[in-house]
Structure 1
Amino acid sequence: MVRVPLTAEEIKRGQELGAALRVARGARTMVDVALCAGVSVETLRKIETGRSPSPEFFTILRICAELGLSMDSFRRPFGDAPPESALAS
């Protein structure tokens, strides 16, 4: 299977998602959040560092639920700053 390369906009969006999740995680360890969310630590690490710019929807749903984030907090036009509510924990 050949994957279509991601656009710069898609890569940026993945990096922004990762940064917002990292901020929301706060002092909690990556291991704690990953285990409680039911995802691997490596998956969470890739998402937080932007190395997985298009993660599976249900993976993000589980991580957001564990961090107390609403999926609505990530609905925004491309290029806009993340909403305050997505970064507050």
Structure 2
Amino acid sequence: MVRPMLSPEERERGCRLGARLRQARGSRSMVDVAADAGIPVETLRKIETGRIATPAFFTVAALAQALDLALDSLAADVAVSPRQIPIATTA
């Protein structure tokens, strides 16, 4: 199965997610946070750098728990603002 290409908005949202997680991690090491979340440190590295723009829900949930972040707050922090959503027009 071929995965469709991500839109620029999806890639940007992935970058915002990575930046938000990096900010929440603070001075904690990637190794410690990844271990607390039960994920490989390389996965955390890829998410933080935007190389995994759409991580699995359970990965995000585990990271949010390890970083003491509320999922709804995290989602709001990385959501696409209404002015970024293209408006479809019909002819």
Q: In which range does the TM-score fall when normalised by the shorter chain? A: 0.7 to 0.9
Normalised by the length of structure 2, the TM-score is 0.83
Can you list the C-alpha shifts for 1:30-88, whole angstroms capped at 9, x where unaligned? 000001110000110010000000000000000000100000112334048xxxxxxxx
2:45 aligned residue: 45
Aligned to 1:69: 69
Equivalents in 1 of 2:29, 2:5: separation in Å? 32
5+ residue gaps, structure 2, are: 83-91
SS at match of 1:65: helix
In the alignment, residue 78 of structure 1 is paired with which amino acid?
Answer: V
- In 2, the alpha carbon distance for the partners of 1:30 and 1:75 equals 21
Runs of 4+ aligned residues of structure 1 deviating over 2 Å after TM superposition are: 74-77
Sequence identity percentage: 54
Cross-structure match for 1:86: none
Residue in structure 1 matched with residue 23 of structure 2 by the alignment: 23
RMSD of aligned residue pairs (Cα, Å): 1.3
Count of aligned positions: 80
